[in-house]
C-alpha cells in the first residue's frame, strides 16, 4: 500500500534557496563600462543620500541560476503537466502562439508614454479588444484598465458611486449572495460600502424573498456571478435585474464564470450595467502562478461617462485618411485612474490573439464544450462510491462547473474534503477548489474547462472513485496524504503564528 | 458523453438559461483564423508601433527600457512557472512559493525593510494600497502627498480615496525637490501618512529622512515610493525612517509592454505585517520536518476574511515578480551596485551634455540618479516630433501633468543608452530647438 512512507528523490532533495547557493565573488552578468568619466559618486550625489553597503543579493553564476530555477520549477505542478479542475479559475490551455506575439518587439519594447501617433498598432489592438469584449458582454463600452478581477470589482463599485453621486444620491449598501467570491465583499469594503448578504434558495439561485426584503433605496448595487459559483444559471435573472433597477441600484456582473456563456447569453442582455472580464480565465492568459491577469470592465450607456481615464478611442481623421486611435484624457466625469499607464497591455495582446484564433463561433463552441465537459464529469462522479460520498450539492444540469459536498464522505468514511484533495495530489491531479462556496458543507468546486479530453475527465473520476474505495478500507491513507509530492502536508498555522517571510542572511 | 449525462443534446444543458436572455444569433465577431494568419495580423499591428528597437528611447516616467537578460525569458516561459495558478495547494507549488520567498528577501534587502509581500499590480495602485494600510494603522483619513510623487500614483490615490473616504493634501516642489517647510506645516495629528517618492518624478533625490521627520513627530506613517534600480547606490528607505516602501517593479526584469504587466513591490516594518495587502510566502515545515513554503498570514486575505480583509487583491503579478528575482540574481550583489553606479554616471554625463545645448537648460539642479528634467526654448511637442524623425524618443513631456512646466522634458537613462546615443540626443535636441525657434521667429 502506498502509505509506506519512503522518501522520493525529490523529497530527499531538501529546499535550498538561491541565497544558500551564493559564494562571494561569483557573478553572472559581466561588468559594463560606463564609457563616461568615472566621477566618484560623492561628487554627483551628497554622501548622506548614498547607500553604505549594497543589498545582499545572491552571488551566483548563470549556470547555477538556471539550475536553481529549473530545479525548483519541478517542485510545481502546472496546467501543462496535468488536469487542473480548479473551480472558478478556468484553467484552460494557454496557446503558445500568444506568447510569441506578445513578445514581438513592437509590443514588448513599446514605451507606455509613446505618443499615440507612434503607437497606432497598440491602440488599435486595444480598441479591437474593447469592441470584441463589448460584443461578448452585450454592453457598448469597455475600459481595459483594471489589472485583475478584483480591480475590476473595485472599479465597478467606484463607477456605481460616481453614477449615484452624479444624481445627487449617496447610497451605502451593496448586496452580494452568500455564494459570492471573497473578492466581492472585500472590494465592497474598499469602496466604502457595507456588504449585505443575500441567501441562496433551494435550487441554488438567489433567494428572491430574501432579495426583496433587502432591496431598498439605500442599495447601491447588487454583485452577482451568473452562472454563480455553484455553476448554476440564475433563472430569475430578469426579475432580479428589474428589482434592482426599480430601486435605483446598479447590477454588477462578476465575470469569473463568463466561460460558461460566451455566445450563449450576454450579461448586458441579462440587465447588468457593469461586467468585469478575467482575461486570465476565459481568454487564455497564462495564470503565471498567481498573475499577471487583467480585469477589463464593460458597461452600459448610463455608466460610460464615469469610466476610468484615459480611454482608448477611435476618431476619424479630418483629412479622411482613415481612423486615428487615441487616448482620451478629457473625461470630466471619469472616476480617474486605477493604475499607471494604460493597463496590462501584454495580456491584451494574448487575449486578442485568442479571440482572433477562435472567432465568434469558436468562442461559442468553447463555452458549449466547457459545459458539456462539466456535465459529463458531474455524471461520472455521480457513479459508485463517488456519488454516495461526494454528491453534487444541487442536482440539476450545471453550466461550466459544479459543486460537490464531501459531507457524506466525512461522515461515512471519516475523511474530509481536504484529505481527498491531498490524496488527489498523489494521483497526479490538481484538486478542485475546496471549502468554497461557503454554503456547501465540505465543498469541492470542479471546473474542467473545454480544453480537456474525455480521457482526462475519466481518469480524474476514476481517481476519486479509487480514493473513496481506498478510504473505505483504511481512511488513514487519505488522512496522511500526500506521499509523493516534493513536500508533504505543511504546517500553515506555524507560518501564520510566527511568520518567517524572508531569508535570514549572514 | 451526452448518454452519460442523460441529455439529448448540448442545447439541453443550456435550457436553464431563460429564453429572454439567450443570445438568439451568433456573436458578431470574425471567423476564427489559423495560427499563421493570427501571427501575421498581430505582427502587422506590432509593426505600426515605434518601439525601442526602432527609436532610441529616452522616455521613462516610471517605466524604463532596461535590458532584460535572456535567462529571464527562459525561466519565466517554463510551463512550471507560466501555467499554474495561485499556490493554494502548497505541496505541489513549492517552486512558485519558494520563488516568492526569494523575491521577498530580495525586496527586503533592496528597501532595508524586514517585511515584503509577494507583489501587487504595479506602482501607482501600490501607493493607494499603502495609503489604505496607513488609514487602518492610524485610524486617520488624511494624506500629505508630495507633488514629486508620480502623477499616475497621485491620481490613482485620489480615485481610491473616494472609495475609502480619505483626502489628500499636496505639497509642491521647490528647486526640483519637495518643499520641506510647506510639508512640515501640512502634517498634523490628522495625518495618516506622508507620501514621498525618491527619486521623485522630476528625477530629484529627496532627503527622505529630513522630510519624514514631520511624519514621525505627528505619528503619521512615512510611505516612500522608490525606483528599485537606484537602490544599489541610494540610501534605502528603511534606513531613512520609512514605514512602507513600495514602487513600480518594471525596471527589474520586466519589459515595457506598453505599460504592463509589471508588478508593484510593497515592503514594511514588522508592525504592519498583519495589515499587508496581497500574498506573502512564508517558510515552514512539513509533517516529516522538511523545509517548505506556504502562503502565510492568509487570514488577512479576501478568500478567508471576505469583507474584513486587509485588501481585495487576489490575482496579482507572480510571474513578473519571478522575472525580477531572476534579473536580480543575474545581476548579483556586485552587478546590481555597478549598474546603479553606471546609471548615475551616464545620467550625470547626459545632464551635462544637454545643459550645454543652446535652447536647453536644466529644470532643476537637485541631485539625480537616472532621470532628469530640462526646459526647452521651443514647444516641447514640436521638438519631440523633430527628434522622432531622427529616430529618437527624446523623453517624456511634462506639460500635461505639470502645467507649470509646460516647457519641461523628462529624460531617462538606462544601461542601454550609450554615450554615443546621448550625444545624438544632444545634437537632435539642439537642432530641433533651433529649427523651432527659427519657425517661431
Angle formed by the axes of helices B35-46 and A345-381, to 10°? 150
3-class DSSP state for residue B173?
A: strand
**Nearest CA among A289, A154, A281 for reference residue A223:** A154
Q: Nine-digit cell at B233?
A: 547606490
The kind and range of the H/E element at A405 are: strand A402-405
Q: Confirm if A269 and B21 have CB atoms less than 8 A apart.
A: yes
B50–A183: do the CB atoms touch at under 8 Å? no
Q: What is the CA radius of gyration of chain B?
A: 25
d(CA A282, CA A296) in angstroms, rounded, equals: 12
Are B312 and B346 contained in the same domain?
no
- Mean per-residue pLDDT, A171-200: 95
**Distance between alpha carbon A192 and the CA centroid of its chain, in Å?**
23
Distances (CA, A) of A45 to A388, B141, B369: 72, 35, 8
Q: Confirm if A398 and A378 have CB atoms less than 8 A apart.
A: yes
B101–A486: do the CB atoms touch at under 8 Å? no
For the stretch A302-323, what's the b/e string if a residue is b when 16 or more beta carbons lie within 10 angstroms of its beta carbon?
ebbbbbbbbbbbeeeeeeeeee
Residue-level pLDDT at B9:
97
Q: What angle do CA B98, A64, B341 make, to 5 degrees?
A: 90
Q: Confirm if B168 and B186 have CB atoms less than 8 A apart.
A: no
Distances (CA, A) of A134 to A269, A353, B54, B181: 12, 16, 33, 50
d(CA A460, CA B343) in angstroms, rounded, equals: 54
Last residue of a domain, one of B326, B361, B384: B326
**Nearest CA among A172, A173, A238, A160 for reference residue A205:** A238
Give the CATH number, domain containing residue B387: 3.90.1150.10
**Nearest CA among B47, B66, B260 for reference residue A119:** B47
Q: Give domain status of residue B408, yes or no.
A: yes
Q: Give domain status of residue B409, yes or no.
A: yes
- The domain made up of A138-354 has a fold known as 3.40.640
Are B205 and B345 contained in the same domain?
no
| Alpha carbon of B382: minimum distance to chain A alpha carbons (Å) | 12
A73-115 pLDDT per residue, tens: 999 999 999 999 999 999 999 999 999 999 999 999 999 999 9
d(CA B405, CA B373) in angstroms, rounded, equals: 10
Instruction: Enumerate residues 49 to 88 of chain A having a beta carbon within 8 A of any beta carbon in chain B.
Output: 49-52, 54-60, 62, 65-66, 68-70, 72-81, 84, 86
Angle formed by the axes of helices A345-381 and A120-137, to 10°? 30
Q: How many residues are present in chain A? A: 506
Residues of chain A positioned with their CB less than 8 A from the CB of B316: 148, 290-292
B315–A362: do the CB atoms touch at under 8 Å? no
* Interface residue of B235, B259, B267 to substitute, partner A, most A CBs within 10 Å: B259
For the stretch B3-16, what's the b/e string if a residue is b when 16 or more beta carbons lie within 10 angstroms of its beta carbon?
ebbebeebeebbeb
> φ, ψ for residue B127 (rounded to 5)?
-65, -45
Q: Strand B191-198 relative to strand B221-226: parallel, antiparallel, unpaired?
A: parallel
pLDDT band at A5 (very low <50, low <70, confident <90, very high): confident
Residue-level pLDDT at B303:
86
Other beta carbons within 10 angstroms of residue A124's beta carbon come to: 19
Q: Give domain status of residue B44, yes or no.
A: no
d(CA A41, CA B344) in angstroms, rounded, equals: 8
Q: How many residues are present in chain B? A: 441
Residue-level pLDDT at A1:
44
- Mean per-residue pLDDT, A160-164: 98
Q: Confirm if B94 and B226 have CB atoms less than 8 A apart.
A: no
Q: In what order do the strands lie in the sheet with B244-248?
A: B115-116, B264-268, B244-248, B221-226, B191-198, B142-146, B167-171
Which residues of chain B fall below pLDDT 50? none
Are B285 and B338 contained in the same domain?
no
Residues of chain B positioned with their CB less than 8 A from the CB of A361: 26-27, 31-32
Minimum Cα–Cα distance from A310: chain B residue: B152
Q: Which domain holds residue B13?
A: 2-39
Q: Confirm if A221 and A198 have CB atoms less than 8 A apart.
A: no
The kind and range of the H/E element at A14 are: none
**Distance between alpha carbon A97 and the CA centroid of its chain, in Å?**
21
Residue-level pLDDT at B441:
56
Complex ipTM over 0.85: yes
B4–A376: do the CB atoms touch at under 8 Å? yes
A358–B77: do the CB atoms touch at under 8 Å? no
pLDDT band at A350 (very low <50, low <70, confident <90, very high): very high
Q: Confirm if B343 and B415 have CB atoms less than 8 A apart.
A: yes
Q: Confirm if A482 and A426 have CB atoms less than 8 A apart.
A: yes
Residues of chain A positioned with their CB less than 8 A from the CB of B348: 36, 39, 44
The count of structural domains within chain B is 3
**Nearest CA among A61, A276, A46 for reference residue A157:** A276
Are B153 and B138 contained in the same domain?
yes
Q: Confirm if B258 and A129 have CB atoms less than 8 A apart.
A: no
A281 reaches B (C-beta below 8 A): no
Are B201 and B342 contained in the same domain?
no
Residue A3 pLDDT more than 90? no
d(CA B320, CA B76) in angstroms, rounded, equals: 8
Q: Nine-digit cell at A330?
A: 478629457
Q: Confirm if B128 and B192 have CB atoms less than 8 A apart.
A: no
SS (H, E, C) A76-98: ECCCCCCCCCECCCCCCCCCHHH
Q: In what order do the strands lie in the sheet with A250-255?
A: A141-143, A297-299, A274-277, A250-255, A219-224, A173-177, A194-198
B109–A56: do the CB atoms touch at under 8 Å? yes
Question: For chain A, what are the domain ranges?
Answer: 9-73, 138-354, 360-493
Q: Nine-digit cell at A208?
A: 428572491
Are B299 and B228 contained in the same domain?
yes
Residue-level pLDDT at B437:
82
| Alpha carbon of A93: minimum distance to chain B alpha carbons (Å) | 9
Minimum Cα–Cα distance from A203: chain B residue: B16
* Interface residue of B9, B27, B70, B132 to substitute, partner A, most A CBs within 10 Å: B27
Q: Give domain status of residue B49, yes or no.
A: no
Are B391 and B300 contained in the same domain?
no
Instruction: For A360-493, give the CATH class.
Output: alpha beta
Sign, CA torsion A319/A320/A324/A328? positive
Q: Nine-digit cell at A278?
A: 478575467
Q: Nine-digit cell at A6?
A: 519512503
Are B120 and B253 contained in the same domain?
yes
A501–B332: do the CB atoms touch at under 8 Å? no
d(CA A149, CA B440) in angstroms, rounded, equals: 50
Q: Give domain status of residue B50, yes or no.
A: no
B122–A340: do the CB atoms touch at under 8 Å? yes
**Distance between alpha carbon B208 and the CA centroid of its chain, in Å?**
19
Cis peptide upstream of residue B261 (ω within 30 degrees of 0): yes
Q: Give domain status of residue B51, yes or no.
A: no
Are B35 and B61 contained in the same domain?
no
Q: What angle do CA B72, B77, B83 make, to 5 degrees?
A: 135
d(CA B295, CA B97) in angstroms, rounded, equals: 7
d(CA A371, CA A377) in angstroms, rounded, equals: 10
d(CA B404, CA A52) in angstroms, rounded, equals: 36
| Alpha carbon of A114: minimum distance to chain B alpha carbons (Å) | 8
A12 reaches B (C-beta below 8 A): no
Q: Confirm if B296 and B282 have CB atoms less than 8 A apart.
A: yes
Q: Which one is predicted more confidently, B366 or A4?
A: B366
> φ, ψ for residue A451 (rounded to 5)?
-90, 10
Give the CATH number, domain containing residue B82: 3.40.640.10
| Alpha carbon of B55: minimum distance to chain A alpha carbons (Å) | 10
A387 reaches B (C-beta below 8 A): no
Residues of chain B positioned with their CB less than 8 A from the CB of A378: 5
| Alpha carbon of A500: minimum distance to chain B alpha carbons (Å) | 5
Cis peptide upstream of residue A504 (ω within 30 degrees of 0): no
Are B291 and B356 contained in the same domain?
no
Strand positions, DSSP E, B108-218:
115-116, 142-146, 167-171, 173-174, 177-178, 191-198
Spell out the residues 6+ positions from residue B432 whose beta carbon is closer than 8 angstroms to its own.
B378, B382, B383, B386, B387, B394
d(CA B434, CA B441) in angstroms, rounded, equals: 10
> φ, ψ for residue A289 (rounded to 5)?
80, 15
d(CA B38, CA B17) in angstroms, rounded, equals: 33
Strand positions, DSSP E, B199-303:
221-226, 244-248, 264-268, 281-285, 291-295
Ramachandran area for residue A84 (φ above 0: left; ψ -120 to 50: alpha; else beta): beta
Q: Give domain status of residue B47, yes or no.
A: no
Helices marked H in B306-362? 318-355
Q: What is the DSSP letter of A50?
A: B
Q: Strand A219-224 relative to strand A250-255: parallel, antiparallel, unpaired?
A: parallel
A343–B259: do the CB atoms touch at under 8 Å? yes
Q: Confirm if B90 and B97 have CB atoms less than 8 A apart.
A: yes
A210-264 pLDDT per residue, tens: 999 999 999 999 999 999 999 999 999 999 999 999 999 999 999 999 999 999 9
Spell out the residues 6+ positions from residue B238 whose beta carbon is closer than 8 angstroms to its own.
B111, B112, B113, B114, B245, B267, B269
Residue-level pLDDT at A2:
46
Amino acid at each position: 500500500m502506498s502509505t509506506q512512507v519512503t522518501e522520493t528523490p525529490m523529497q530527499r532533495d531538501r529546499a535550498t534557496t538561491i541565497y544558500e547557493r551564493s559564494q562571494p565573488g561569483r557573478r553572472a552578468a559581466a561588468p559594463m563600462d560606463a564609457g563616461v568619466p568615472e566621477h566618484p559618486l560623492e561628487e554627483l550625489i551628497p554622501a548622506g543620500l548614498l547607500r553604505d553597503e549594497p543589498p545582499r543579493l545572491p552571488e551566483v553564476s548563470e549556470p547555477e541560476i538556471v539550475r536553481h530555477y529549473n530545479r525548483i520549477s519541478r517542485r510545481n505542478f502546472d496546467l501543462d503537466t496535468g488536469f487542473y479542475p480548479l473551480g472558478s479559475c478556468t484553467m484552460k490551455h494557454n496557446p503558445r502562439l500568444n506568447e510569441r506575439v506578445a513578445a514581438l518587439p513592437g509590443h514588448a519594447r513599446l514605451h507606455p508614454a509613446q505618443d499615440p501617433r507612434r503607437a497606432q498598432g497598440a491602440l488599435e489592438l486595444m480598441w479591437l479588444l474593447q469592441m470584441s469584449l463589448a460584443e461578448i458582454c452585450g454592453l457598448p463600452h469597455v475600459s481595459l484598465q483594471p489589472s485583475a478581477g478584483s480591480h475590476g470589482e473595485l472599479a465597478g463599485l467606484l463607477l456605481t458611486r460616481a453614477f449615484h453621486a452624479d444624481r445627487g444620491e449617496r447610497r451605502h449598501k451593496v448586496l452580494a449572495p452568500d455564494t459570492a467570491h471573497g473578492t466581492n465583499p472585500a472590494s465592497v469594503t474598499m469602496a466604502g460600502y457595507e456588504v449585505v448578504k443575500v441567501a441562496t434558495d433551494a435550487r441554488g439561485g438567489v433567494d428572491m424573498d430574501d432579495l426583496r426584503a433587502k432591496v431598498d433605496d439605500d442599495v447601491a448595487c447588487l454583485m452577482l456571478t451568473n452562472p454563480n459559483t455553484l455553476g448554476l444559471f440564475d433563472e430569475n435573472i430578469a426579475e432580479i435585474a428589474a428589482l434592482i433597477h426599480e430601486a435605483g441600484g446598479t447590477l454588477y456582473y462578476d465575470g469569473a464564470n463568463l466561460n460558461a456563456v460566451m455566445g450563449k447569453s450576454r450579461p448586458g442582455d441579462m440587465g447588468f450595467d457593469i461586467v468585469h472580464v478575467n482575461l486570465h480565465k476565459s481568454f487564455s492568459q497564462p495564470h503565471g502562478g498567481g498573475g499577471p491577469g487583467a480585469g477589463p470592465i464593460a458597461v452600459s450607456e448610463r455608466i460610460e461617462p464615469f469610466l476610468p481615464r484615459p480611454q482608448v478611442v477611435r476618431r476619424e481623421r479630418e483629412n479622411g485618411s482613415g481612423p486615428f486611435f487615441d487616448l482620451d484624457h478629457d473625461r470630466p466625469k471619469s472616476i480617474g485612474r486605477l493604475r499607471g499607464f494604460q493597463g496590462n497591455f501584454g495580456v491584451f495582446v494574448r487575449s486578442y490573439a485568442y479571440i482572433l484564433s477562435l472567432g465568434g463561433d469558436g468562442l461559442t463552441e468553447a463555452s458549449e464544450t466547457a459545459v458539456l465537459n462539466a456535465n459529463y464529469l458531474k455524471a461520472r462522479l455521480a457513479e459508485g462510491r463517488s456519488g454516495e460520498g461526494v454528491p453534487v450539492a444541487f442536482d440539476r444540469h450545471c453550466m461550466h462547473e459544479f459543486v460537490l459536498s464531501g459531507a457524506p464522505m466525512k461522515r461515512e468514511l471519516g475523511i474530509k474534503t481536504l484529505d481527498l484533495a491531498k490524496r488527489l495530489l498523489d494521483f497526479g491531479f490538481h484538486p478542485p477548489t475546496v471549502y468554497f462556496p461557503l454554503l456547501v458543507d465540505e465543498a469541492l468546486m470542479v471546473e474542467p474547462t473545454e480544453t480537456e479530453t474525455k480521457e482526462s475527465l475519466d481518469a480524474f473520476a476514476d481517481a476519486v472513485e479509487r480514493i473513496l474505495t481506498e478510504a473505505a478500507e483504511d481512511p488513514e491513507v487519505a488522512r496522511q496524504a500526500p506521499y509523493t509530492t516534493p513536500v508533504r502536508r505543511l504546517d500553515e498555522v506555524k507560518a501564520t503564528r510566527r511568520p518567517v517571510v524572508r531569508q535570514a542572511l549572514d | 458523453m451526452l448518454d452519460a449525462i442523460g441529455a439529448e443534446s448540448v442545447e439541453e444543458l443550456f435550457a436553464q438559461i431563460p429564453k429572454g436572455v439567450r443570445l438568439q444569433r451568433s456573436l458578431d465577431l470574425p471567423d476564427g483564423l489559423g495560427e499563421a494568419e493570427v501571427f501575421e495580423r498581430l505582427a502587422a499591428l506590432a509593426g505600426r508601433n515605434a518601439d525601442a528597437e526602432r527609436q532610441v528611447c529616452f522616455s521613462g516616467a516610471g517605466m524604463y527600457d532596461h535590458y532584460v537578460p535572456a535567462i529571464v525569458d527562459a525561466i519565466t516561459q517554463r510551463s512550471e512557472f507560466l501555467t499554474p495558478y495561485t499556490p493554494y495547494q502548497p505541496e505541489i507549488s513549492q517552486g512558485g512559493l519558494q520563488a516568492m520567498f526569494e523575491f521577498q528577501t530580495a525586496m527586503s534587502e533592496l528597501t532595508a525593510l524586514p517585511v515584503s509581500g509577494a507583489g501587487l499590480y504595479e506602482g501607482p495602485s501600490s501607493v493607494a494600497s499603502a495609503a489604505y494600510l496607513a488609514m487602518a494603522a492610524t485610524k486617520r483619513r488624511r494624506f500629505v502627498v508630495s507633488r514629486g510623487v508620480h502623477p499616475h500614483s497621485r491620481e490613482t490615490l485620489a480615485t481610491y480615496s473616494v472609495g475609502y473616504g480619505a483626502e489628500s493634501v499636496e505639497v509642491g516642489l521647490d528647486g526640483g525637490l519637495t518643499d520641506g517647510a510647506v510639508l512640515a506645516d501640512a502634517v498634523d495629528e490628522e495625518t495618516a501618512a506622508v507620501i514621498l517618492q525618491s527619486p521623485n518624478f522630476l528625477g530629484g533625490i529627496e532627503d527622505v529622512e529630513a522630510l519624514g521627520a514631520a511624519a514621525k513627530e505627528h505619528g503619521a506613517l512615512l510611505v516612500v515610493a522608490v525606483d528599485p534600480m537606484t537602490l544599489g547606490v541610494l540610501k534605502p528607505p528603511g534606513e531613512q525612517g520609512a514605514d512602507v516602501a513600495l514602487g513600480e517593479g518594471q525596471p527589474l526584469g520586466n519589459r515595457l509592454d506598453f505599460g504592463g504587466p509589471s508588478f508593484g513591490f510593497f515592503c514594511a516594518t514588522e508592525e504592519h505585517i498583519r495589515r499587508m495587502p496581497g500574498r506573502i510566502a512564508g517558510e515552514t515545515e512539513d509533517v516529516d520536518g522538511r523545509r517548505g513554503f506556504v502562503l502565510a498570514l492568509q487570514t488577512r486575505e479576501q478568500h478567508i476574511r471576505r469583507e474584513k480583509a486587509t485588501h481585495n487583491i487576489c490575482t496579482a503579478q507572480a510571474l513578473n515578480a519571478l522575472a525580477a528575482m531572476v534579473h536580480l540574481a543575474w545581476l548579483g550583489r556586485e552587478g546590481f551596485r555597478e549598474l546603479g553606479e553606471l546609471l548615475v554616471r551616464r545620467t550625470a554625463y547626459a545632464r551635462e551634455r544637454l545643459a550645454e545645448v543652446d535652447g536647453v537648460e536644466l529644470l532643476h539642479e537637485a541631485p539625480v540618479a537616472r532621470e532628469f528634467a530640462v526646459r526647452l526654448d521651443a514647444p516641447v511637442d514640436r521638438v519631440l516630433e523633430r527628434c522622432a524623425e531622427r529616430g529618437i524618443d527624446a523623453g517624456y513631456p511634462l506639460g500635461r501633468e505639470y502645467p507649470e512646466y509646460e516647457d519641461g522634458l523628462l529624460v531617462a537613462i538606462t544601461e542601454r543608452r550609450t554615450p554615443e546615443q546621448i550625444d545624438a540626443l544632444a545634437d537632435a535636441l539642439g537642432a530641433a530647438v533651433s529649427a523651432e525657434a527659427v519657425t517661431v521667429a
